[in-house]
Chains A and B, each alone.
Chain A
Amino acid sequence: MIVLQSVTKRYADTAVVDDVSIELGHPGITSVIGANGAGKSTLLSMIGRLLQVDSGTITVDGLDVTTTRGALLARRLAVLRQDNHLTARLTVRDLVAFGRFPHGRGRLRPSDQEAIDRAIDYLDLDPVGGRFLDELSGGQRQRAFLAMTLAQDTEYLLLDEPLNSLDLRHCVQTMRLLRRAADDLGKRIVLVLHDINFAAAYSDRIVAMRAGRIHVAGKPTEVITTGVLRQVYGLDIAVAEFGGHPMAIYHL
């Protein structure tokens, strides 16, 4: 499990993440939702050691993220941020192969090749394996980065706004894919999501953040309610039920 104890992060004198204690990384998908500036991405970045914590501790399966050797953590936890890497002309296969780096320090053994093949196959990237990333569509590029994290073969997968800049079809494809990875491969996935209905439809747990603190955490039916959404987003949002999932009607 990913355990946060009294984690705080400040910029100047505002606490972006304020004394947060929570356990993340239950089996399945956990979505973190909240308004802009609620501290979602900062929280994820600190778990992924992309940002230093100011106080408090974060452990992954008992390993403290600030003191544990990078390669050891990289075999348990993969983090993907929505950064575009368009400056680099790498082939899809090269990129996916980098996912094996924490395992073999750059030397690819036959077992690594198998893991790369599996990841490429799992994301249907076979036909474009030799293409450069800058020759792919946005959806394909995202799948290539997901394939890399699959090849990294970690139990935990942290994704920061994976649906950003994807069209509706690719959003649905990505969420289905993550659901499948959670169910078939036993991945424990933590996502930062903006679209609360994607969170409601595909998550096992939802964590709602507000002003740097955890507001509520629980099953989708417990979090996606008119009452909670009013406190988190400051909007009155009707919630209906569709196919067993709570759906927020926030466009009206």
Chain B
Amino acid sequence: MIRRIGATPAAVVAGVALTAALALVSVFVGVADVTPGSLLRGGSDGEAALLLAASRLPRTIALVLAGAASAIAGLIMQMLVRNRFVEPSTTGTTEAAALGLLVVTVTAPGLPLTGKMAVAIGFALVGTVLFLLLLRRLPVRTVVLAPLVGIMLGSVIGAVTTFFAYRLDLLQTLDTWLTGDFSGVLRGRYELLWVAFAATAAAWVAADRLTVAGLGREFTTNLGMRYGRLLALGVTVVATVASVVVVTVGAIPFLGLIVPNIVSLLLGDNARRTIPWVAVVGAAFVLVCDLIGRVLRYPYEIPLGVVVGVVGAAVFLYLLLRSSERAH
């Protein structure tokens, strides 16, 4: 039997080690002087140590968590829709979460962050289900139709959100939700991302079931599982991850699209095998893009969402062209 690359434990260890190295670099890049040397000189209550604990470490942890979770949310969305070109930002999920966040910010500004997150998750769930219902009503199912419908739905929701944000003078706030930016991540402002991590851990536990669901309703039923339940589980994970990322650091466009596609090309679609890789590659990809954004105009920063958007759009286009070539 042929062994695929990445199927070996050694490859997994190497991937994790590389990501850890990137994280280490990420911790030590920045305007202020935080290096292993300055840390040693300053001791545990020096300025460098303080900066490390309050800003640098939270930022790196947030990058890893948001990157891994967003990539996995994209993977799950692709399995549920059985289409490689969907992810929370092309299915209306992200926009719905932002709308929910706007609604709760206006109507209940005093609500704690977890409450706001819950409302955003609720809106994201509704948005995603709306997308799935819309898709089911479409007679033709070509590959590009699903993301097109999702982008249109997202645009409609986004237009409503923008209108009210404009009226209420919240456009700038809206922008921070929709464009991932990690420059403001501090201790105490990113911890909700662990909720996204927990949601993706749930996906890992249910990996085999999700793979089966990815093979369709009939396939799932034949194996004695309830398709509706798996769909509900998957949609919940996707909505939770998308909402938490919007609430904490802002959406990272295309990430959930590129990473699962690259992993699928190399390793296939058995989620049990691919989920750890999607998480690792997602984290590494975000770390690299963040480093680029921090170094390119040093000492100024380009928001991560912009860097990922540029790189992501190019990769997305390449994947689209490649698949239409293969289809012919």
Partner of B221, one of A70, A72, A94: A70
Does A131 interact with chain B (Cβ within 8 Å)?
Answer: yes
Among B3, B209, B219, contact of A130 (Cβ-Cβ < 8 Å): B3
Among the listed A69, A87, A94, A98, which residue makes an inter-chain contact with B223, where contact means beta carbons less than 8 Å apart?
Answer: A98
Contact B268 A90 (CB under 8 A): yes
Q: Is the CB–CB distance between B218 and A81 below 8 Å?
A: yes
Residue of B nearest to A145 (CB): B219
Q: A88-B269, A130-B4 are in contact. Are A49 and B223 (CB under 8 A)?
A: no
Q: Which residue of B lies closest to A132 (CB)?
A: B268
Q: 1/0 contact trace for A95-120 toward B, CB 8 Å?
A: 00011011000100000000000000
B238 at the interface (CB under 8 A from A): no
Cβ 8 A contact of A91, one of B209, B216, B221, B270: B270
Say whether A83 contacts B223, CB under 8 Å.
no
Partner of B83, one of A48, A71, A87, A132: A87
CA distance A80 to B4 in the complex (A): 28
Contact in complex: B224, A69 (CB < 8 Å): yes
- Residues 202-242 of chain B, each 1 if its beta carbon lies under 8 Å from chain A, else 0: 00000011011011111101111110000000000000000
Determine the distance from Cα of A98 to Cα of B221 in the docked complex, in whole angstroms.
12
- A94 to B, closest residue via Cβ: B270
B84 at the interface (CB under 8 A from A): yes
Whether B176 sits at the interface, judged by CB under 8 Å, is: no
User: Which A residues are CB-close (under 8 A) to B264?
Assistant: 89
Q: Are A131 and B222 in contact (CB under 8 A)?
A: no
Chain A CB within 10 Å, residue with most, of B3, B83, B217, B223: B223
- Scoring A residues 59 to 98 as 1 if CB is less than 8 Å from chain B, else 0, what string do you get? 0000000000111111100111101010111110110001
Q: Using C-beta atoms within 8 Å of the partner chain, give the interface range for chain B.
A: 20 to 34
Q: Is the C-beta of B1 less than 8 angstroms from some C-beta in chain A?
A: yes
Q: Known contacts A85-B219, A89-B264, A130-B1; is A101 also within 8 Å of B270 by CB?
A: no
Contact, CB under 8 Å: A106 / B224? no
Chain A residues with CB below 8 A from B189, complex form: none
A71 touches B224 (CB 8 A): yes
Q: Which residues of A contact B223 (CB under 8 A)?
A: 70, 74, 98-99, 101-102, 152
The residues of B that contact A91 with a CB separation of less than 8 Å are 4, 268, 270
Collect the chain A residues with CB atoms within 8 Å of residue B224's CB. 69-75, 101-102
**Contact residue range for chain A?**
20 to 34
A185 part of interface (Cβ distance < 8 Å) = no
A50 touches B221 (CB 8 A): yes
B222 near A79 with CB under 8 A, answer: yes
Partner among B3, B221, B225 whose Cβ is within 8 Å of the Cβ of A48: B221
Give A53 Cβ to nearest chain B Cβ, in Å.
14
Cβ of A131: which chain B residues have Cβ within 8 Å of it?
2
Question: A48, A90, A152: which contacts B269 (Cβ < 8 A)?
Answer: A90
Whether B82 sits at the interface, judged by CB under 8 Å, is: yes
Closest B residue, CB atoms, query A91: B268
- The residues of A that contact B84 with a CB separation of less than 8 Å are 87
A129 within 8 A of B: yes
Task: Report the separation of the CA atoms of residues A50 and B82 in the bound assembly, to the nearest whole angstrom.
Answer: 18
Contact of A50 among B83, B215, B218 (CB under 8 A): B218
B226 touches A88 (CB 8 A): no
B212 contact from A87, A101, A129, Cβ within 8 A: A101
23 A-B pairs (CB sep. < 8 Å):
A48-B221, A50-B217, A50-B218, A50-B222, A69-B224, A70-B221, A71-B224, A72-B224, A73-B224, A74-B222, A78-B222, A87-B82, A87-B84, A88-B211, A89-B269, A90-B211, A90-B269, A91-B268, A106-B208, A106-B209, A130-B1, A130-B3, A131-B2
A-B complex: 10 closest residue pairs judged by Cβ atoms: A74-B224, A130-B2, A70-B224, A71-B224, A89-B268, A106-B208, A130-B1, A89-B269, A102-B224, A88-B269
